[in-house]
């Protein structure tokens, strides 16, 4: 087996976004797009020679090919050992779990998360550091910088490995160990959660549906829910991962889980409806006739986590991304713990968890997690809900309503305008930003602007500053509107408008109707229709 050094040229635009480098499959397929990016990653890993890396992906189209290339490049670059999930599969939280458990140097995760897959879909490559979490900005910036100076990449000339076979194989000097992608993750869940109580819950007739959306959580959910916890066969639907996710869009929200929502709102709905995304880090929770927003889910989990063995000692603190509703803030206040507000992107939670400041965290974008790994974890969130219901009794809707009774309700919605002209979207944000000083104190319809700013975050652990993280209008009434451009899209720009109003008394209003005046106000302030030509959002969550 010989190492080939292949001359190459920098490729423009290999800049990792909110969560790694995401592009069309066709872009990644065109050599040396993948090779360049992987070489840039490897070049930035000081002292990786002889060390262990974890590699796996969500099974989407091009996963298998990409993994073979990455293994051969890792071998050529002197990596000592690679742990790879069987058939190249590892959910994102499971990859994080494996990196931590085996104290690996880091890991390369192949996924475009919830973006559609297949030859026409998206692909992505993300580097995670030794704590199991997404690389912080200084690392992704170094990787990007390296892509702009690269002159060659190294790859081993060798036959493809058989990744269906568990155990060790050799690739020149490097050991490739094919591991069971589910086992370590199941063991971790069993440590944290009261499997015995959940088993009793199912034995007592509790019914749930878990929609794996033909993505990576299928094998994990089947093994745990139906295998270990005794949920009836058929609890997990769409449980076989497919390279194109069955043509679906594996994003667990009301829009893409319409069938689940219909089931949960109809007669004969099961007790709990849940779903996870392409790579297994997101989750959707739906009770009988009641959809639980991710922001509310985080608040309910924070208020009840002590009912699970892994959190019985209480929470060190909680964190949420800025656009996430402030429901969890009220729980933190009651518990007497800190609530950290970070920019969008899971990577910002890593330092807080490493420093022991935060146990539970979450985002409005359907991510919930805890310090057990350094990624958000879809199935874990579902299991924690089950644990809480098993111990408390009652159902999802009852638990949420009791929560609102105690803490009040943060009505919340997000309106997305997708596929916008990038220039027009940037101009909209620039103009808003320029008007911030003038908006301060202004009366807009029924509302008065108390604070208007562009969110900036100083990491309390390493002091790093992230600016320009979203425009906030905080009103005197306590309501809030946030404008942000998505950092995860692959085509054009997506404008996200986040709208929130806290309410103590009227707890059973329809969210969209209740928030309609604020939504209208958001459209007017930003001139959305005039600037984008759109009369309404493409997706409402």
Active-site annotation, residues: 113
Are 449 and 475 in contact by the 8 Å Cβ rule? The answer is yes
Q: Which residues between 18 and 47 bind Zn ion (CB under 5 A)?
A: none
What whole-number distance in Å separates Cα of residue 320 and Cα of residue 340? 6
Q: Which residues between 430 and 489 bind ligand G6P (CB under 6 A)?
A: 486-488
281 binds Zn ion (CB under 5 A): yes
Nearer to Zn ion, 71 or 221 (CB): 221
The region of 42-50, 183-191, 359-367, 378-386 touching ligand G6P under the rule CB under 6 A is: 359-367
367 binds ligand G6P (CB under 6 A): yes
* 43 contact, one of ligand G6P, Zn ion, none, CB 5-8 Å limit per kind: none
* 350 contact, one of Zn ion, ligand G6P, none, CB 5-8 Å limit per kind: none
* 344 contact, one of ligand G6P, Zn ion, none, CB 5-8 Å limit per kind: ligand G6P
- Residue 498 pairs in a beta bridge with 414, 482
The region of 58-66, 341-349, 385-393, 533-541 touching ligand G6P under the rule CB under 6 A is: 341-349
363 binds ligand G6P (CB under 6 A): yes
Q: Which two structure tokens, joined as six digits, stand for 1?
A: 């087996």
Query: How many of the other CB atoms lie within 10 Å of CB of 314?
Result: 11
496 binds ligand G6P (CB under 6 A): yes
Nearer to ligand G6P, 278 or 310 (CB): 278
Binding-site member from 241, 345, 369, 470 for ligand G6P (CB under 6 A): 345
Gyration radius from the chain CA atoms: 23
Binding-site member from 36, 63, 77, 113 for ligand G6P (CB under 6 A): 113
Q: Which two structure tokens, joined as six digits, stand for 506?
A: 């009227």
The answer for residues whose C-beta is within 8 angstroms of residue 23's C-beta and 6 or more apart is 33, 122, 123, 124, 490
Q: Is 423 exposed, middle or buried (0-12, 13-18, 19+ CB in 10 A)?
A: exposed
Are 125 and 113 in contact by the 8 Å Cβ rule? The answer is no
Nearer to Zn ion, 32 or 85 (CB): 85
Shortest separation between residue 62's beta carbon and Zn ion, angstroms? 17
The label of the residue with tokens 């050094």 reads 5
Nearer to ligand G6P, 278 or 287 (CB): 278
What whole-number distance in Å separates Cα of residue 304 and Cα of residue 182? 27
Q: Is 62 exposed, middle or buried (0-12, 13-18, 19+ CB in 10 A)?
A: buried
Q: Is 258 exposed, middle or buried (0-12, 13-18, 19+ CB in 10 A)?
A: exposed
What whole-number distance in Å separates Cα of residue 276 and Cα of residue 122? 18
Binding-site member from 33, 220, 346, 455 for ligand G6P (CB under 6 A): 346
What whole-number distance in Å separates Cα of residue 401 and Cα of residue 391? 17
* 18 contact, one of ligand G6P, Zn ion, none, CB 5-8 Å limit per kind: ligand G6P
Shortest separation between residue 91's beta carbon and Zn ion, angstroms? 9
The label of the residue with tokens 């709990």 reads 272
Say how many Å lie between the first and final Cα of the chain, rounded: 52
Shortest separation between residue 324's beta carbon and ligand G6P, angstroms? 9
The region of 113-121, 153-161, 444-452, 500-508 touching Zn ion under the rule CB under 5 A is: 113-121
* Coil, helix or strand at residue 22: strand
* 342 contact, one of Zn ion, ligand G6P, none, CB 5-8 Å limit per kind: none
Where along the sequence are the contacts to ligand G6P (CB under 6 A)?
18-19, 113, 321, 344-346, 363, 365, 367, 486-488, 496
Where along the sequence are the contacts to Zn ion (CB under 5 A)?
113, 277, 279, 281-282
């Amino acid at each position: 087996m010989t190492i080939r050094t292949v001359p190459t040229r920098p490729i423009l635009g290999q800049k990792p976004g909110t969560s790694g480098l995401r592009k069309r499959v066709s872009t990644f397929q065109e050599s040396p797009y993948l090779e360049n990016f992987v070489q840039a990653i490897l070049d930035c890993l000081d002292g990786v020679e002889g060390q262990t890396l974890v590699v796996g992906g969500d099974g989407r189209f091009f996963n298998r090919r990409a993994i073979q290339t990455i293994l051969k490049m890792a071998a050529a670059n002197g990596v000592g050992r690679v742990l790879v999930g069987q058939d190249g599969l590892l959910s994102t939280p499971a990859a994080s779990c494996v990196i931590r458990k085996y104290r690996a140097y880091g890991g390369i995760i192949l996924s475009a998360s919830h973006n559609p897959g297949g030859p026409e879909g998206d692909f992505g490559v993300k580097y995670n550091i030794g704590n199991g979490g997404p690389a912080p900005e200084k690392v992704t910036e170094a990787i990007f910088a390296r892509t702009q100076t690269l002159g060659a990449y190294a790859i081993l000339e060798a036959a493809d490995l058989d990744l269906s076979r568990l155990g060790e194989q050799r690739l020149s000097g490097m050991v490739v160990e094919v591991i069971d992608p589910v086992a370590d993750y199941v063991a971790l869940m069993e440590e944290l959660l009261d499997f015995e109580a959940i088993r009793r819950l199912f034995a007592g007739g509790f019914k749930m549906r878990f929609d794996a959306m033909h993505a990576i959580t299928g094998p994990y959910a089947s093994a745990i829910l139906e295998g270990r916890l005794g949920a009836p066969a058929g609890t997990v639907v769409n449980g076989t991962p497919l390279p194109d996710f069955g043509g679906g869009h594996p994003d667990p929200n009301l829009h893409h889980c319409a069938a689940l929502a219909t089931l949960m709102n109809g007669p004969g709905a099961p007790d709990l409806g849940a779903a996870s995304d392409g790579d297994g880090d997101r989750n959707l929770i739906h009770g009988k006739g009641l959809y639980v927003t991710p922001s509310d889910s985080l608040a309910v989990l924070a208020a009840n986590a002590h009912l699970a063995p892994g959190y019985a000692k209480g929470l060190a603190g909680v964190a949420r991304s800025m656009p996430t509703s402030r429901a969890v803030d009220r729980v933190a206040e009651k518990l007497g713990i800190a609530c950290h507000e970070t920019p969008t992107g899971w990577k910002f939670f890593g330092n807080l968890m490493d420093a022991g400041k935060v146990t539970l965290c979450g985002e409005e974008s359907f991510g919930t997690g805890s310090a057990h790994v350094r990624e958000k974890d879809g199935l874990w969130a579902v299991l924690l809900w089950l644990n809480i219901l098993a111990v408390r009794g009652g159902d999802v809707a009852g638990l949420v309503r009791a929560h609102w009774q105690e803490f009040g309700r943060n009505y919340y919605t997000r309106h997305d305008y997708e596929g916008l002209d990038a220039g027009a979207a940037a101009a909209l944000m620039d103009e808003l930003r320029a008007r911030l000083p003038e908006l301060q104190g202004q009366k807009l319809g029924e509302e008065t602007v108390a604070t208007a700013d562009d969110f900036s975050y100083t990491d309390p652990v390493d002091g790093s500053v992230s600016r320009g993280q979203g425009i906030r209008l905080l009103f005197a009434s306590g309501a809030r509107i946030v404008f942000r451009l998505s950092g995860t899209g692959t085509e054009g720009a997506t404008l996200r408008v986040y709208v929130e109003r806290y309410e103590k008394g009227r707890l059973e209003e329809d969210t969209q109707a209740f928030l309609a005046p604020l939504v209208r106000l958001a459209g007017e302030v930003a001139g959305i229709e005039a600037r984008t030509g759109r009369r309404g959002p493409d997706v409402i969550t």
